[in-house]
């Protein structure tokens, strides 16, 4: 959902972690003006634990990372990566790193710092990483979660990006004596507990080598290992009907299927049933205020994007045009356009599984499988293999 960033004064020197100017409210990172972070990029590495220029500080973080990350090569997602100092250590230890930061200046420095290493860097928000269907063995986040407006939602999103048995590595703390800011370890442990099979908190305040100085405040890492059992994301899709037409949204800037048409959709959050999730997503994406009685389950599909993506359960809900108001594009940063198409003349430039779902719905099916194979494209291919498998059973007999 689009929001307007508040005006921001000129950047000022900041304590650890990098702290936006006063006046940004309780959740500064997502709402602070991008210009602040661009200006901060030039001096970000001046803090000992940001730039790791001191060999002793660098060595201390390298030792910690080696104990927090898997012993063999792993896919590591570094959120709020800054200039890439921790990403570089992880890459030097043999891991495949993807870094995300909202500042183009930070990302430019990270790309320079890791030139020649197996790493990729993307501009984006830590709370909603633009990584599409990719999954990671580790999500590494340092000094970011405390400043997000909804830490619990961010944690659920990050946990959903992990492979079964994957690990969250969360470096956080509570800094300052007068008006301290941050996230106490006990609070973060409670937030993570519903997601993890095992958690461990390790104090970092007692090791001055990590910070380049003695510190007296609360600093720690929380390691959270996810269950190894099979789990699937549940997603919901709105099939808004205007007579024989359906509403589709062209994706943009999400890291998954950008440029392709797709039904307005999203993930069910923990504690939501699928109907509640559909009502929320319809409001967030196309501004509709639907009531439960406006929705009808049209189709259920287990689907999976090309490997290494994980399978999902997709619920397709029908609603009639006029229910909940007039649809409009509430997320122009993620949606290039909304358009109506006849159900029997859908565009070819669609997400393949969504096209299969709508084709199945038009044919009267209620249950489908749609699993991509290695080498398949995410986009619908009118002359490619049909991956849809109908699961509708025969009616009762006798």
| Cβ-based neighbour number of residue 213 at 10 Å | 11
pTM, full prediction = 0.62
Domain contains 7: no
Question: Do 201 and 321 lie in a common domain?
Answer: no
Question: Do 216 and 240 lie in a common domain?
Answer: no
pLDDT at res. 254: 83
| Distance (Å, whole) CA 337 – CA 80 | 29
Low-confidence ranges of the chain (pLDDT < 50): 1-32, 398
| Tokens 């196309």, residue located | 286
Per-residue pLDDT reduced to its tens digit, 233-279: 899 999 999 999 999 999 998 888 999 999 999 999 878 999 999 99
Question: Do 289 and 213 lie in a common domain?
Answer: no
**Domain containing residue 106: CATH number:** 3.40.50.150
| Distance (Å, whole) CA 306 – CA 371 | 8
Q: Nearest 10 degrees: CA dihedral of 145, 213, 67, 107?
A: 50
Question: Do 101 and 215 lie in a common domain?
Answer: yes
Which of residues 225, 257, 279 is at a domain's end? 225
Which of residues 204, 225, 246 is at a domain's end? 225
Question: Do 180 and 56 lie in a common domain?
Answer: yes
Residues 6+ apart with CB under 8 A from 280: 266, 269, 272
Domain contains 5: no
**Domain containing residue 289: CATH number:** 3.90.79.10
| Distance (Å, whole) CA 203 – CA 197 | 20
pLDDT at res. 331: 92
pLDDT at res. 120: 96
Question: Do 265 and 156 lie in a common domain?
Answer: no
pLDDT at res. 393: 67
Domain contains 1: no
pLDDT at res. 264: 98
pLDDT at res. 79: 98
Closest CA to 247 of 360, 347, 338: 338
pLDDT at res. 394: 62
For residue 342, count CB atoms less than 10 angstroms from its CB and return exposed for 0-12, middle for 13-18, buried for 19 or more. exposed
Tokens representing residue 289 in the block: 């205020």
Domain contains 15: no
Domain contains 396: no
Question: Do 256 and 178 lie in a common domain?
Answer: no
Domain contains 3: no
Domain range enclosing 121: 28-225
Question: Do 189 and 294 lie in a common domain?
Answer: no
Domain contains 284: yes
Ramachandran angles phi, psi of 350, nearest 5°: -125, 160
Say how many domains are in the chain.
2
| Distance (Å, whole) CA 290 – CA 239 | 13
Which of residues 225, 244, 274 is at a domain's end? 225
Question: Do 345 and 251 lie in a common domain?
Answer: yes
87 near 114, Cβ under 8 Å? yes
Question: Do 268 and 374 lie in a common domain?
Answer: yes
Question: Do 207 and 312 lie in a common domain?
Answer: no
Question: Do 76 and 188 lie in a common domain?
Answer: yes
Closest CA to 391 of 357, 348, 354: 357
Ramachandran angles phi, psi of 116, nearest 5°: 90, -5
Ramachandran angles phi, psi of 99, nearest 5°: -110, 140
| Distance (Å, whole) CA 154 – CA 148 | 8
| Distance (Å, whole) CA 33 – CA 40 | 11
């Amino acid at each position: 959902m689009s929001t307007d960033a508040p005006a921001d004064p000129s950047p000022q020197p900041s304590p650890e972690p990098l702290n936006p100017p006063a006046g940004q409210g309780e959740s500064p990172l997502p709402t602070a003006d991008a210009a602040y972070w661009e200006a901060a990029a030039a001096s970000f590495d001046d803090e000992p634990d940001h730039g790791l220029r001191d060999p002793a500080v660098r060595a201390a973080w390298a030792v910690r990372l080696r104990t927090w990350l898997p012993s063999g090569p792993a896919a590591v997602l570094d959120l709020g990566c800054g200039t890439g100092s921790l990403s570089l250590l992880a890459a030097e230890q043999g891991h495949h790193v993807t870094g995300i930061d909202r500042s183009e200046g930070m990302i430019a420095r990270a790309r320079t710092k890791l030139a020649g290493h197996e790493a990729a860097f993307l501009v984006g928000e830590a709370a909603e990483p633009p990584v599409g269907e990719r999954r990671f063995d580790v999500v590494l986040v340092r000094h970011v979660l405390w400043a997000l407006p909804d830490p619990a939602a961010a944690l659920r999103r990050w946990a959903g990006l992990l492979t079964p048995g994957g690990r969250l590595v969360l470096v956080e703390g509570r800094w300052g004596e007068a008006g301290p800011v941050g996230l106490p370890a006990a609070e973060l442990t409670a937030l993570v507990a519903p997601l993890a099979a095992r958690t461990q908190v390790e104090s970092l305040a007692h090791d001055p080598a990590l910070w380049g100085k003695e510190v007296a405040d609360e600093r720690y890492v929380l390691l959270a290992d996810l269950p190894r059992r099979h789990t699937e994301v549940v997603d919901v899709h709105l099939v808004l009907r205007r007579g024989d037409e359906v509403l589709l949204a062209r994706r943009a800037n999400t890291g998954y299927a950008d440029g392709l048409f797709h039904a307005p959709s999203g993930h069910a959050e923990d504690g939501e049933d699928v109907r509640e999730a559909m009502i929320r997503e319809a409001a967030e994406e196309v501004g509709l205020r639907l009531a439960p009685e406006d929705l009808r389950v049209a189709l259920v599909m287990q689907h999976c994007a090309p490997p290494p993506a994980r399978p999902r359960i997709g619920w397709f809900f029908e609603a009639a045009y006029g229910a909940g108001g007039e649809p409009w594009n509430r997320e122009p940063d993620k949606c290039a356009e909304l358009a109506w198409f006849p159900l029997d003349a859908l565009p070819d430039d669609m997400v393949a599984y969504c096209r299969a779902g709508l084709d199945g719905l038009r044919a009267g099916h209620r249950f489908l499988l749609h699993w991509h194979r290695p080498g398949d494209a995410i986009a619908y291919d009118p002359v490619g293999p049909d991956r849809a498998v109908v699961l509708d059973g025969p009616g009762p007999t006798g």
